[in-house]
Amino acid sequence: MGTSVLFGVRTERGVFCMFLLLLLFCVGGKCEHQESKPTSQTNLPTVKPFPNEPQAFPSEERANLPVFTMDYPRIQLPFEFTLWVLLASFAKIGFHIYHKITIWIPESCLLITIGLIVGAIMHAVKEEPPAVLSSNVFFLYMLPPIVLDSGYFIPTRPFFENIGTVLWYAVVGTLWNSIGIGLSLFAICQFEVFGLQDINLQENLLFASIISAVDPVAALNVFEDIGVNEQMYIVIFGEGLFNDAVTVVLSSMFTFLADMPIVESADVFRGVARFFVVAAGGVLFGLLFGFMAAFTTRFTHNVRQIEPLFVFMYSYLAYLVAECFSISSILAIVTCAITMKYYVEENVSQRSCTTIRHVVKMLATVSETLIFFFLGVVTITITEHEWNWAYIMFTLLLAFIWRGIGILVLTQIINPFRTIQFNYKDQFGLAYGGLRGAICFALAFTLPDTINRKNLFVTASVAVIIFTVFIQGISIRPIVEYINIRRTNKDLHTINVEVHTRVMEHVVCGIEDLCGQWSHYYWKDKFKKFNDRILRRILLRDNRAESSIVSLYKKLELQNAIELLDTPMGDLSAAPSMVSLPDERKETSRPKKKFLTADVRKMHDILSKNMYKIRQKTMAYTNKYNLPDDSRTREILIRRHASIRRSVRASSFREPSEQNIPKSQKYYSLQPGGDLETAFALRRRSHGGGSGPQFSGASPHSSSRSLVPMKRLNTIKESGSAGEQPATSAHPRSTSPGVDVLDERGPRSLGGSSLRGWRPVPASRRRSSDRVNEDPTDSECTGERDEPVRPPQLPPPRGWLPENQDPGDNEAGNPLLRHSSKGS
């Protein structure tokens, strides 16, 4: 649609074509209503082509006060830009409607294809290509978001574990490719047959350095999907990131050299020296601005609205300043992002953190989409393509060969230094994953006009990109799957794995200390100490160190809690399908249910919902286009903190009940868990009553010990419910042995759930029911009495709130406590 407007303004034919095209794009009716706006504008210019200038008082003597004016030229640039972005985004929506397409054909291919189509149409109507892509626009506005994104979302731990290899491939590999391809192309240019003698060495090197920038987006997506081993993934990721930096430096250097008639050896040394200055400078500026950003966010807790801004401003500042001193701006922004991420995310509020992540992703996606899209458009609309079969074919061939040899040779050199070495399959994956992309195109397209065969270079770059993106991009998935590259189980985020990773790291670190080895574990340890002692003190507002085990644990608990919250209140009794049970559980429990009575099923629902669900939490990798989805847990965290605080406060002040009620009510309403707890408690008591000791009666078979593991879950407030898990894990599946037990419990638990139906009634009532135990109806009267005292009784989340640790508080909430003492 965007384009339609542009053309409508000038050529009538265009409007027509564009509409057809847009219909193609707008799969599904989504864009319809947006479309109407542009259309209406499309016709306007014909009515009144170029209206008066905007004046406060248009000359009254000449004409009447115009009722309607229009000033298109004024808004043209931003307007067109917006429409381009929209168009590209629509295309993206379009092909994500059919997921299968993007699995087999990388998104970049599709974008280029659409770009090609649009370009063809524009060409047909003799339209000018968009002027947006100039050198400045690219380097100042489009590149920063892309690298910021990569830097911000780089998986830190694997990255630092493999940093040597990453840099090795990125720096030496890129140099290798540039020089190798450049020299061999120069050799080929010497053959008279091809008519390429006018391309000198520097220009060849320049061109070679441009096309050695790999941009493995497509490859990364594939690798991530099929879960290749972490080392390989991070090496590709890091290489793509850092070789952009190297390429930009190299190509700017060669651009400079290309103008010099004679290159002396001194210039070469100066070039090498400059290379290091540029790299070191970039890193320095990055660190500087990163720490500044972290330090600034330490003080922003009163102005949450602008918190996210600092991340963007500081990183952009780092970029611009670096650009100003012509040092590597990419390195600067990447270092800045890596440095500040850790601290900033701890300083800012959860919401700001989410905002930052979303905005970073969004900007990057837009930039990249646009670049690929323009790539398609420009490929067609550029009139002065210079197609030289020999040069282009050799470029393709050489780019492929040198990349292959480069990886092979470099890996042989680096392998002895690696603990886990790359085997040949890995190397093949690395080599084949070297797609060229956005950066390469942009660099070629923004070459200065002084390069005499610029057109040839652009054409050749486009050819390389299209070849690699289409051929390699599409074939990489089948190939990697076929040769069966070493894979890793990428989502292993269970508590146990986290615990054992830590244990193993400590062991390895300890053994290294024992034998006096220094390695990255050693450095990691040292940095951690430095970080805890100094950096965190300075940069963080709340600088208590937190073990990652604890944070993972919290995350899991939160996710659990969220699920509880998510289930619609009051309809626990609704169809089981609504329940967010993990599938396998459903599977296992379903066939076994002999009792299909509603009661039993409800029981199962309740139990399984409150089970501690073990599941894969976090994504190990960040998808290029998607955010790691932990936003939900974070948001809940906020709510939870707030509510906890509220309840604590309430309890400590013992406010009169009237004031208290609304608060606690709100608080409780968050937790379906509450009633469950009462339901359980009920059950338990009743059993206890039956056979004396509280637990053993419940099911003669279930030893109280079996409950032991579960009781601990009461760290969280839902805890009540979570605490029951032991029982839950056993029961939902219980088959024949448990039958009678289930039956017995059925009606009670029902009672519990039906309580839920009374939503508006404060949870306290439910609770009270657990004290009074037996009859839910009783609870109604007792409920009122209880309310004022209620808040203190919630088992507070222990993990987070050391303050109210008083065990006395818990008595009502956790029958578990008592059991535990008994059990263990």
Phi, psi at 268, each rounded to 5°? -65, -45
* DSSP conformation letters of 531-577: IIIIIHHHH-SS-----HHHHHHHHHHHHHHHHHHHSPTT-TTS-GG
Q: Which residues, numbered 147-206, are part of the site for other proteins (CB under 8 A)?
A: 161-165, 168
734 binds other proteins, rule: CB under 8 A: yes
Q: Which stretch binds other proteins (CB under 8 A): 18-26, 61-69, 455-463, 710-718?
A: 710-718
Q: Which stretch binds other proteins (CB under 8 A): 41-49, 417-425, 460-468, 620-628?
A: 417-425
DSSP run (H or E) holding 237: helix 230-259
Among 219, 230, 241, 231, residue whose Cα is nearest residue 173: 241
Q: Which two tokens stand for residue 541?
A: 């507002």
Collapsed DSSP state (helix, strand, coil) of residue 344: helix
Which among 128-136, 226-234, 331-339, 381-389 is the span making contact with other proteins, rule CB under 8 A? 226-234
Among 94, 115, 473, 726, binds other proteins (CB under 8 A): 726
Which residue lies nearer to other proteins by CB, 529 or 649? 529
Q: Is residue 351 close enough to count as binding other proteins by CB under 8 A?
A: no
Closest distance of CB 129 from other proteins, Å = 44
**Least spacing, CB of residue 745 vs other proteins, in Å:** 11
CA nearest neighbour of 181 among 390, 467, 395: 395
Distance between CA 540 and CA 180 in Å, rounded? 47
Cβ neighbours of residue 356 under 8 Å, at least 6 residues apart? 308, 311, 312, 344, 345, 348
609 and 563 in contact (C-beta within 8 Å)?
yes
Residues 501-530 that bind other proteins (CB under 8 A): 501-504, 506-520, 523, 529
CB 230, min distance to other proteins, A: 8
Q: How far is CA 688 from the centre of its chain?
A: 49
Please give the Cα distance from 799 to 373 (Å, whole number). Answer: 50
What is the Cα gyration radius of the chain? 32
Q: Quick one: 193 or 514, whose CB is closer to other proteins?
A: 514
User: Which of 423, 475, 626, 659 touches other proteins (CB under 8 A)?
Assistant: 423
477 to 496, contacts with other proteins by CB under 8 A? 488-489, 492, 494-496
255-284: which residues touch other proteins (CB under 8 A)? Answer: none
Give the count of residues interacting with other proteins (CB under 8 A). Answer: 91
Q: Which is nearer to other proteins, 161 or 345 (CB)?
A: 161
Q: Does 306 bind other proteins (CB under 8 A)?
A: no
Give CA angle at 464 (386, 217), nearest 5°. 140
Nearer to other proteins, 108 or 560 (CB): 560
Q: Which is nearer to other proteins, 372 or 680 (CB)?
A: 680
User: By CB under 8 A, what part of segment 774-813 binds other proteins?
Assistant: 798-799, 802, 805
Task: Give the separation between CA 205 and CA 201, rounded to whole angstroms.
Answer: 6
**Residue 824 contacts other proteins per CB under 8 A:** yes
Nearest residue to 719 (alpha-carbon basis) of 610, 819, 608: 610
Between residues 303 and 515, which has the closer beta carbon with respect to other proteins?
A: 515
What does the alpha-carbon distance between residue 181 and residue 201 come to, in Å, rounded to a whole number? Answer: 11
Residue choice 418, 646, 666, 818 for contact with other proteins (CB under 8 A): 418
- Is 574 a binding residue for other proteins by CB under 8 A? The answer is no
Residue 737 binds other proteins (CB under 8 A): yes
Q: Does 547 bind other proteins (CB under 8 A)?
A: yes
What residue has token string 């409150």?
610
- Interacting stretch for other proteins, rule CB under 8 A, among 20-28, 283-291, 395-403, 731-739? 731-739
* One of 261, 544, 596, 658 touching other proteins (CB under 8 A): 544
Decide: is 420 part of the binding site for other proteins (CB under 8 A): yes
Residues 565, 633 contacting (CB under 8 angstroms): no
User: Is 710 near other proteins (CB under 8 A)?
Assistant: yes
Give the end-to-end CA distance of the chain in Å, rounded to a whole number. Answer: 70
Tokens 């069966």 correspond to what residue? 484
| Residue 622 touches other proteins, criterion: CB under 8 A | no
Min CB(242)–other proteins separation in Å: 14
